[in-house]
Amino acid sequence: MLDTCPTFESFLYPLLKLAENGEVRVRESADVIAKQLNLTSSAMAELTKNGNALRYVDRTYWSATYLRQAEAAYKFHAMRQITID
């Protein structure tokens, strides 16, 4: 169990794996990834520095942004689409 939220890089591979079978929604994926990473409730309750968002959700969004910028969906055919809602 992780007591603190890991860096966004830890969310990249799990997000790619979730997207293998088609479109994924980032917010919904954040909870699935948090369970896969064995985040504790305290790690899931951490807020970003400005206090406006849950850190693990924010890190999932950042991962999705970097994957889209890298065009990983097209280069590696690991996912069809990641929807940032």
Total residues found in the chain within this entry: 85
**Structural domain boundaries of the chain?**
9-80
pLDDT in tens, 29-77: 999 999 999 999 999 999 999 999 999 999 999 999 988 887 655 554 4
C-alpha span between 70 and 85 (Å, rounded): 19
Say what the pLDDT of residue 5 is. Answer: 95
Q: Mutual orientation of helices 9-18 and 55-69 as an angle, nearest 10°?
A: 70
What separation in angstroms does the CA of 10 have from each of 7, 21, 56, 79? 6, 20, 10, 17
Read off the pTM: 0.80
C-alpha span between 56 and 8 (Å, rounded): 8
pLDDT in tens, 67-76: 888 765 555 4
